[in-house]
């Protein structure tokens, strides 16, 4: 197994290290359980999305992982350091952007980031290089002398991310990093997060389903304080998905004829000429003509005038509701 060394720390890690491990986390407020039995892991070079409704426990979970709150029970390890027993060592590997960025609006960008670097105990001789590199990564090269309060919300969010990565941490924790941004700003921040995921471990919370699809390698769904689902974002999109297609037939036959096509399980008429057709999940290409090919052949033979055939795509909204309603 290969190893590499992060020059900003003395932590030696394997080529595929586990940078964060949380086991059986519990936190309550009075009689209300906020999170219960939450366990998750994060590897180097991975972007993990924590997905859930508002109030599901996302922010509390991230605050626990960042050391801003203490769990009432459970264990958190950051790069091999126990976050409760070795907080200074563990937090040296963490960069945290809370939902409301901790910005001093009256400060200049450079002054604020230098202040953040000192708080993170970056060596004085390294601060200038860290500042230059961080501004470059966050697209702030031309913003160093600007007052933070005069920046757009998107650029203030960039400054918030910059303060979280100025010390080059292994683990970056982002709470709702694109909330309140316009579409152009959201695109830029998502691109930045994806780039950060190539060199760090990133965990972010969101309730935006397309955010998971666009930037996350893996997703955990939290519902009423419990993790109820975890898998790659690609497999999540196929969760409970039934293969099928929507076809337009200008001269359609009786529904019974469509139902009789080999492999077809269900036919639903959507309009006078449009039909949703579901077929068996184990229908494999190469094992004989698939139902779509058979239908098009029959349409040409019998004059059904097939106009369009569109494969069904799983919608993340439907997948998310299916998972959370099942809980």
- What is the rounded CA–CA span in Å between residue 95 and residue 150? 24
pLDDT digits (tens, 9 = 90+) for 222-252: 999 999 988 877 777 666 566 888 899 999 9
| pLDDT (0 to 100) of residue 168 | 94
The pLDDT of residue 251 is 93
CATH code: domain 3-237 is 3.40.50.300
Q: What's the fold here for domain 244-311?
A: Alpha-Beta Plaits (3.30.70)
| Each residue's pLDDT tens digit, 75-130 | 999 999 999 999 999 999 999 999 999 999 999 999 999 999 999 999 999 999 99
What pLDDT shows up at residue 7? 39
Cβ neighbour number for residue 11 with a 10 Å cutoff:
17
The residues of the chain scoring below 50 in pLDDT are 1-15, 285
Report yes or no on whether pTM surpasses 0.85: no
Chain-centroid distance, C-alpha 299? 43
DSSP state at residue 241: P
155, two tokens: 């650029």
Domain ranges of the chain: 3-237, 244-311
Which phi and psi (to 5°) does residue 273 adopt? -125, 0
- Cβ atoms < 10 Å from Cβ of 152: 11
The per-residue pLDDT for 193 is: 93
The whole-number pLDDT of residue 308 equals 87
Position 278 scores a pLDDT of 87
């Amino acid at each position: 197994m290969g190893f590499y060394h992060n020059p900003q720390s003395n932590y030696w890690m394997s080529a595929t290290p586990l940078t964060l491990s949380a086991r059986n986390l519990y936190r309550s407020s009075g009689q209300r359980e906020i999170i219960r039995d939450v366990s998750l892991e994060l590897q180097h070079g991975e972007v993990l999305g924590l997905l859930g409704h508002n109030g599901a426990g996302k922010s509390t979970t991230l605050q626990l992982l960042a050391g801003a709150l203490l769990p009432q029970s459970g264990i958190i390890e950051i790069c091999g350091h126990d976050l409760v027993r070795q907080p200074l060592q563990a937090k040296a590997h963490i960069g945290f952007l809370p939902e409301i960025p901790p910005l001093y609006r009256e400060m200049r960008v450079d002054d604020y980031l230098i202040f953040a670097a000192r708080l993170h105990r970056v060596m004085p001789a390294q601060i200038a290089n860290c500042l230059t590199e961080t501004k470059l990564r966050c697209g702030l090269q031309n913003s160093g002398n600007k007052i933070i309060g005069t920046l757009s919300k998107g650029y203030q969010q960039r400054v918030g991310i910059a303060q979280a990565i100025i010390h080059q941490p292994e683990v970056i924790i982002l709470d709702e990093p694109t909330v309140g941004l316009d579409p152009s700003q959201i695109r830029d921040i998502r691109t930045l997060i994806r780039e950060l995921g190539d060199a760090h471990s990133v965990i972010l919370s969101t309730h935006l389903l397309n955010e998971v699809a666009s930037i996350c390698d893996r997703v955990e769904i939290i519902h009423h304080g419990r993790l109820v689902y975890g898998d790659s974002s690609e497999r999540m999109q196929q969760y409970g998905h039934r293969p099928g297609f929507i076809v337009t037939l200008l001269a359609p036959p009786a529904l019974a004829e469509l139902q009789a096509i080999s492999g077809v399980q269900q036919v639903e008429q959507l309009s006078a000429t449009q039909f949703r057709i579901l077929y068996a999940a184990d229908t494999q290409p190469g094992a004989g003509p698939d139902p779509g090919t058979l239908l098009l052949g029959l349409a040409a033979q019998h004059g059904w005038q097939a106009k369009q055939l569109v494969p069904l795509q799983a919608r993340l909204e439907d997948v998310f509701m299916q998972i959370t309603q099942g809980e």
